[in-house]
Structure 1
Amino acid sequence: MALKRMDNMGIVVEDLDAAIDFFLELGFAIEGRAMIEGEWAGRVTGLGDQQVEIAMMCTPDGHSRLELSHFLAPAIVADHSKDPVNALGYLRVMFTVDDIDETLERLSNRGAQLVGEVVQYQDTYRLCYIRGPEGLLIGLAQELG
């Protein structure tokens, strides 16, 4: 039995509409939006009786997805949005973009803030981290050459 693919990465947000708008601006497409609730869902997550609204977002190449989740019940129990990049656990996601400067300009209109600075690694990449909606840590990479 072999691993087939990574299906999606989940991100919990307070403001689902703002997160959707941000990832649309980055270049994602929305595949769907739904309310996930009921006994079956709670059995999967271990949260019991849950109610969560999700939006499934897809990258332009169709290979990667983000599942944005807004929990109505039970309430969110922790906030990692201000944790630095060296905190334990799943902390950031990185995307390759065509033009890092143009992407930063567009995303700054959606509230994104540069964490450090845009740096160049050899003649291979330009890289940076930004804080997106609700402090989400996102890496951007531009391939050079």
Structure 2
Amino acid sequence: MAIQRMDNVGIVVDDLPAAIAFFLELGLELEGEASVGGPGVDRLVGLDGVQADLAVVRTPDGHGRLELTKFHTPPATTAEPNAPVNTFGIRRIMFAVEDIEDVIARLRAHGAELVGELEQYEDSYRLCYVRGPGGILVALAEELG
């Protein structure tokens, strides 16, 4: 078998402290922070003059990680910061949560906005999408009974 696991998902952000605070409020744990740059990083990512700060946050079970990166140079670019969910590419990350209404309220204190409405899918889940710092789209799912 070629794949052992999915290690992390990378998200480029403009405000690294706000993104860290958002995901910590969601319940992820800070694994580490670093500054990166230099020829090796340039070769790895195919850009010149990379200087970036990053933070890795992980789910409480230790199986899921996000790498949040703030590029200082070259500056990050974007085609559409608040792209709708049907735009090509990676659009959202989903987390299983307990007490979805409490999670929404806590994330709103960090600037999150509900994208649509909190919905119930049959008798199985309560679901919603929230948009966090820099337009990051996060789906939340609370399993019912």
Q: What is the TM-score with the length of structure 1 in the denominator?
A: 0.96
Equivalent runs, 1:1-145 vs 2, <5 Å: 1-145=1-145
Unaligned stretches of 5+ in structure 2?
none
Unaligned stretches of 5+ in structure 1?
none
Partner letter of residue 16 of structure 2? L
Partner letter of residue 118 of structure 2? V
Partner letter of residue 59 of structure 2? T
SS in 1 for 2:19: helix
SS in 2 for 1:128: strand
Q: Deviations over 1:5-50 (max 9, x none)?
A: 0000011111100111111100011111000111111111111221
Does the C-alpha gap of structure 1 residues 70 and 57 become closer, same or farther in structure 2, counting only changes over 3 Å? same
- Cα deviation for residue 80 of structure 1 reads 3.4
Number of aligned residues = 145
Percent of paired sites with the same residue: 53
Q: Check conservation: 1:128, 1:139, Cα contact below 8 A.
A: yes
| Misfit runs of 4+, over 2 Å | none
For 1:23 and 1:14, the matched residues in 2 are separated by: 15
- Cα deviation for residue 142 of structure 1 reads 0.5
SS in 2 for 1:11: strand
SS in 2 for 1:23: helix
- Cα deviation for residue 2 of structure 1 reads 2.5
Q: Deviations over 1:94-122 (max 9, x none)?
A: 11101100100111111111010000111
Q: Check conservation: 1:42, 1:49, Cα contact below 8 A.
A: yes
For 2:109 and 2:79, the matched residues in 1 are separated by: 24
- Cα deviation for residue 135 of structure 1 reads 1.5
Q: Give the superposed CA RMSD.
A: 0.9
SS in 2 for 1:24: helix
